[in-house]
Chains A and B, each alone.
Chain A
Amino acid sequence: MGLLRVEGGLIDMETYKQPTNNVIEPNIKPTIEKKRTKIKPKKILFHVITSIIAIIMLYPVIWLIMSSFKESSSIFVTAHSLIPDKFIWTNYADGWKGIAGQSFGTFIKNSLTIVGLSTIGAVVSSALIAYGFARIQFKGKSFWFACMMVTMMLPHEVLMIPQYIIFAKIGWINSFKPIIVPQFFGHAFFIFLIVQFIRTIPVELDEAARIDGCGRFSIFFRIILPLITPALATSAIFSFYWKWEDLINPVLYLNKAELYPVSLALKLFLDTESASNWGAMFAMSVVSLVPVILIFFLFQKYIVEGISTSGLK
């Protein structure tokens, strides 16, 4: 077992690099050296173009953040200037008081509950299902795999109405259940991603463990699970994003303000914008983006892997 683990560690690193690391390195190096000595204006031009694109792209986000520090009454009067005359925090205090008698803390707590449980459910179930598809030969496998691929392409709108009717009939409206429970039955994108990942792990590892007397479940838990953590991390990150920004399910299933997640609370802010408390709305928009951006910068590597190998968005 000990040996296997050492071996597993090695394979882990190798397989993780495999999918995108197809650059042929020796060919690149000489060209760099040549460029460094010869073409300087091209380098400057490159940085100018990319920087301009970057500024145009990020300007709206920076504007949102800066505006959240301006006084509500001056946001649109001074829309052209980025830096506030005076940085004020009152918008954040205002916004945090929340809306409809609920503090913004409640909305964040609700979002975290939904996101946390959904993510655990989606990742655990998807990993089990993916192992079944990737490693076990059974009758009807290709049929079920095809079913799974089809669900990836199925517009959510087709399922939205009947699902709503079913959940309404069994009394799940105004609870998190309609949003969380379906996640515990696997998510097609994650299953696909993990299947692809398991296929890069040598089957010999499974065989060796089987000879040592491991059953399917212990092979999965002891051998496969530790090796697929990068794919699990990618799935968890995307599950977090999708559930955090999800608007349509909360709109459908949650009608009480005390159950609102952040996304729906922001919509409520927008609906009552006649109060013209722009500052508070902008401030809470920024707050809602903080976890997303934080995770993005912390786990960039997994996100990039996920996109480039399976086209997740």
Chain B
Amino acid sequence: MIRALFLIEKGVVLEMKSRALKDNLSGYAFISPFIIGFTAFTVVPMLISLYLSFTNYDLFTTPTWIGLANYKEMLFGDEKFWKSLSVTFYYVLAGVPLRLMFALFVAMLLNQNRKGIGIYRVLFYLPSIIGGSVAVAIMWRNIFGNEGVINALLFFMGIDKKILWYQDPTSALWTLILLAVWQFGSSMLIFLAGLKNIPPTYYEAASVDGASAVHKFFKITLPLLSPIIFFNLVMQTISAFMTFTPAYIISKGEGGPLDGTLLYPLYLFQKAFNFFQMGYASAMAWVMLIIVGLTTLILFKTSSLWVYYESKED
């Protein structure tokens, strides 16, 4: 009897083992495309890139090992590198907060039960969908042109002084920032989903206690929305660091005037594919990876100071 039980148990164990084995096999079968792709298009390229960053390589001759020379040149010898870095930080630090503030403002405006909300939501979101395209970059270049619609409208309103947007480095960069802010729609949608999750009873209770709208915003909306603000902040910051197409189209690949719109990815692109300094550009790519990584890390570290998670309190 006991022997029989033991056999059955052994059978169950064996079956479980074979099922675990089967699961392992089928699990890897299903994710095998990812593992192959990850190895071929991410891991191997990254290793190659790391190696190249210590070499001098022009794509045609064999790479020569030069140690840390690329990194040294970047940090101490290349003024354009520092210029593009400061332009990029200006772009990120001005563009991301403005975009998020605007997105939050409009999301709060739309978080009501009124007729026509759906239409507004769609209209506000449309620029996000088309914003990355070449067509929109061309459009942006032309509305801020010397004879463009912005100056024409300013003239129409009685301001008789043409702003030469693309003659001045700062104003040229601001057209790129405005283009980013213009695409606030996706962040707005995420905020809107978050706002809908805040129970209306909180606001009602606050109203009963005589809280003002400003009070409600700072004491209820902001804390409860902070995880979503944080999520948006991280995603938008990372993607802002990687902006390429608008700068490439609007400055016609030059990053001008006076390198005013030379965003980091554009400078990297120029180094790699205009000057064929593949080694130097690879080193730049790694510096960028470190910068983006550090920024994300700082955001995560500081998040405990201002991001409020409801479950902790309960």
Contacts and interface: CB of A to CB of B under 8 A. Distances in A.
Interface of A: 20, 22-24, 27-28, 31-32, 43, 46-47, 49-50, 53-54, 57-61, 63-64, 76-77, 79-80, 125, 128-129, 131-133, 136-139, 141, 144, 147-148, 151, 153-166, 168, 182, 184-186, 191, 216, 220, 241, 244-245, 247-248, 252, 262-264, 266-267, 269-271, 278, 281-282, 285-286, 288-289, 292-293, 296-297, 300, 303-304, 307-309, 311-313
A60 B278 CA distance: 39
A129 B34 contact: yes
B122 interface: yes
A270 B139 contact: no
Interface string B275-303: 00010011001101100100010000000
B232 A159 contact: no
B149 A60 contact: yes
Q: Considering the complex of A and B, which 8 residue pairs feature the smallest CB-CB distances, nearest first?
A: A185-B37, A132-B30, A138-B27, A162-B45, A285-B135, A80-B152, A79-B152, A76-B147
Most A C-beta atoms less than 10 A away, residue of B33, B40, B116, B245: B33
Interface in B119-146: 120-130, 132-136, 138-143, 145
A157 B285 contact: yes
18 contacts: A79-B152, A133-B30, A147-B38, A154-B42, A159-B41, A162-B48, A166-B44, A185-B41, A220-B30, A248-B248, A252-B273, A270-B249, A285-B138, A292-B133, A293-B126, A303-B129, A308-B189, A311-B186
B148 interface: yes
A155 B241 contact: yes
Interface string B145-180: 101110111011000000000000000000000000
Nearest to A43: B114
B135 A288 contact: yes
Contacts of B139: 60-61, 63-64, 282, 285
A159 B248 contact: no
B272 A160 contact: yes
A1 B296 CA distance: 48
B265 A157 contact: yes
Which DSSP category, helix, strand, loop or mixed, fits chain B's interface?
Answer: helix
Contact of B130 (A28, A151, A281, A292): A292
Interface in B1-48: 20, 23-24, 26-31, 33-38, 40-42, 44-46, 48
B238 to A, nearest CB: 6
B285 A313 contact: no
Interface residues of B, number: 101
B30 A216 contact: yes
Nearest to A64: B139
Which DSSP category, helix, strand, loop or mixed, fits chain A's interface?
Answer: helix
A281 B155 CA distance: 25
B196 A20 contact: yes
B109 A292 contact: no
A54 B31 contact: no
Given A46-B109, A76-B148, A163-B45, A155 B196 contact: no
B239 A138 contact: no
A5 to B, nearest CB: 23
Interface string B241-262: 1101100110010000000000
Contacts of A49: 109
A168 B273 CA distance: 13
A140 B292 CA distance: 27
B153 A80 contact: yes
Interface stretch (B66-74, B197-205, B216-224): B197-205
B182 interface: yes
B101 interface: no
Contacts of A292: 129-130, 133
B134 A266 contact: yes
B79 to A, nearest CB: 21
A165 B278 contact: yes
A164 B57 CA distance: 13
Contact of A153 (B116, B140, B296): B296
A271 B138 CA distance: 11
A46 B114 contact: yes
Contacts of B30: 128-129, 131-133, 136, 216, 220
B123 to A, nearest CB: 5
A79 B148 contact: yes
Contact of A50 (B36, B120, B136): B120
B39 to A, nearest CB: 9
A244 to B, nearest CB: 8
A129 B281 contact: no
A200 B211 CA distance: 39
B145 A76 contact: yes
B190 interface: yes
B35 A138 contact: no
Given A54-B124, A155-B285, A289-B133, A313 B149 contact: no
B192 interface: yes
Nearest to A292: B130
Contact of A138 (B24, B41, B45, B186): B24
A159 B33 contact: no
Contacts of B238: 153, 155
B52 interface: yes
Given A151-B42, A297-B122, A311-B232, 9 more contacts: A46-B109, A61-B126, A79-B151, A133-B31, A137-B20, A155-B238, A248-B269, A267-B134, A308-B190
A27 B152 CA distance: 49
B65 interface: no
B31 A308 contact: no
B268 interface: yes
